[in-house]
Structure 1
């Protein structure tokens, strides 16, 4: 008897999740229908330009390079953040010793690093990947440190008392316990990766989605500019949805434990 209200709430939530974006698009289309503003073209024109520009036409020249940079930098940040975070989270003296350096580096505004990156690495994809990895590293690293450092001491002592090998303790006790915080940091970094990809391509690039949007704005191709912005919004939404799918599968045990506790 208790499942019916819950199912109704879920159906209502899914309905609102679908209806609100459709309503927003309908409002946008209604407000721009007359095409009186040069800077806000009709939504149907943007959709038409989106189809002509991005469906297969600009996929290889702009979308693929942008996605390759984004995913490469993000993957490097995830691996480095988890590995270094586990090491720092497992050693309190090492964490205190490195913490000033970490706090100093993470406080640097990401766009400021672009000129230095151009000088050191040049105007190429390596510079953009390095900047994306640098920016995405800190949320993952800090969340991993907190997650590993916050593992229940009872679990650690129990695993140690049963003489479980250190490798098994890491993969069966420490990482599963810290996984919710690691995934939280990785989700924040994914949004930062999209932002940094666009910023780096606007400043120093000859291709990519960010470069296309900036060039469209400079040449007053306003409809093309909005189609690029629309593509970035869709890209961010899809990446977030895929991440949530992976997170839901990886942390299925965590949700089950929370439901059981409730």
Structure 2
């Protein structure tokens, strides 16, 4: 049973599905002109990548994604610390945050277009709003999980609120903050592409829509594959960064186990 849970088993399943894709298209099982063989899709991906078109579009998408992720994530950490440490801030602004949180992100894009236009400012703002809430929620949970003895010791030594938050609370809740950023990272990529598809003339999302309208199925599927690989790579890269940045946390967990 353990062998089934190994990562290699997952890769074998993906390879089998890709092989099924190729075979189903070659033998016309789907009976559709918009279902090209995988080999044709990969050829289109290689051609557009080597030609420089896709890397340029992808670079713009990643820039917008990371700008919004960092801005929204930083705001989520700050507001989360304030909400969890100062109840008055949660009483004043908590209802506003809870009213905005359930609004679907695609529903926010049209009003932002009216106020901010179609440029990068709108897209970065949308991504920032997306990243804000998971980081906020996890930061608040992390602050609540901080040991009371550590906070009491800080007060005993006369450490003020801001220094206590920076040197005691924030380091203690970093595992929660990183968990929030990991969730926000996946959402940020999705929302960036959606924003480019709905209101944009740049990026991978806009290119994907253009390929759909032009009926260029191989290029369209190639873009989808590129996004899937990119999302997986970003997640694996973040996990490696998290493990390096929080090595003390993972070492402590290994000792407990």
Contact 1:73 1:131 in 2 (8 A): yes
Q: Return the TM-score normalized by structure 1.
A: 0.88
How far off its partner does 1:184 sit?
1.3
Q: Indicate which of 134, 145, 153 corresponds to 1:139.
A: 134
Alignment of 1:200 onto 2:215:
no
What is the rounded CA distance, in whole Å, between the counterparts of 1:138 and 1:30 in structure 2?
43
RMSD value, Cα: 2.2
Equivalence for 1:93: 88
Q: Does residue 1:44 correspond to 2:39, yes or no?
A: yes
Structure 1 segment 57-72 matched on structure 2, within 5 A: 57-59=52-54, 61-72=56-67
Q: Does 1:219 align with 2:179?
A: no
1:20 matched residue in structure 2? 13
Deviation, 1:10, is: 9.1
* Moved >6 Å (runs of 4+): 9-12
Separation in structure 2 between the aligned mates of residue 43 and residue 197 of structure 1, nearest angstrom = 26
Are the equivalent residues in 2 in contact too, given 1:61–1:207 (CA < 8 A)?
Answer: no
The aligned counterpart of 1:3 is none
Moved more, 242-251 or 169-178: 169-178
- Alignment partner of 2:114 out of 114, 119, 122: 119
Cα distance in 1 for partners of 2:154, 2:223 equals 52
TM-score, scaled relative to structure 2:
0.90
Match of 1:238 in 2: 233
> Could you say which residue in structure 2 is the equivalent of 1:34?
27
Post-superposition CA distance 1:60-106 (Å, at most 9, x none)? 54112111111111111111111221122211232233211110111
Q: CA deviation at 1:56?
A: 4.5
**Cα gap change, 1:242 to 1:65, in 2 (>3 Å):** same
> Could you tell me whether the CA contact under 8 Å between 2:76 and 2:132 is conserved in 1?
yes
Say which is worse superposed, 181-190 or 165-174, in terms of deviation.
165-174
Residue 189, structure 1, aligned to residue 148, structure 2: no
Deviates more, 1:157-166 or 1:219-228: 157-166
The total of aligned residue pairs comes to 254
- Per mean C-alpha deviation after superposition, the further-off stretch among 200-209 and 15-24 is 15-24
Cα distance in structure 2, aligned partners of 1:64 and 1:52: 17
- Unpaired segments ≥5 residues, structure 2: none
The Cα shift of 1:165 comes to 6.3
Map of 2:204 onto structure 1? 209
User: Is contact 1:33-1:43 (8 Å) kept?
Assistant: no
Report 1:139-158 matches (<5 A). 139-158=134-153
Q: Distance in 1 between matches of 2:250 and 2:3?
A: 17
In the alignment, structure 1 segments of 5+ residues that lack a partner are: 1-8
Q: Write the distance in 1 (CA, Å) between the matches of 2:99 and 2:61.
A: 29
Is 1:170–2:161 an aligned residue pair? no
The 8 Å contact of residues 69 and 128 in structure 2, kept in 1 or not, is answered as yes
Distance apart, 1:42 and its partner CA: 0.2
2:54–2:204: 8 Å Cα contact kept in structure 1?
A: no
Change (3 A) 1:179 1:225: same
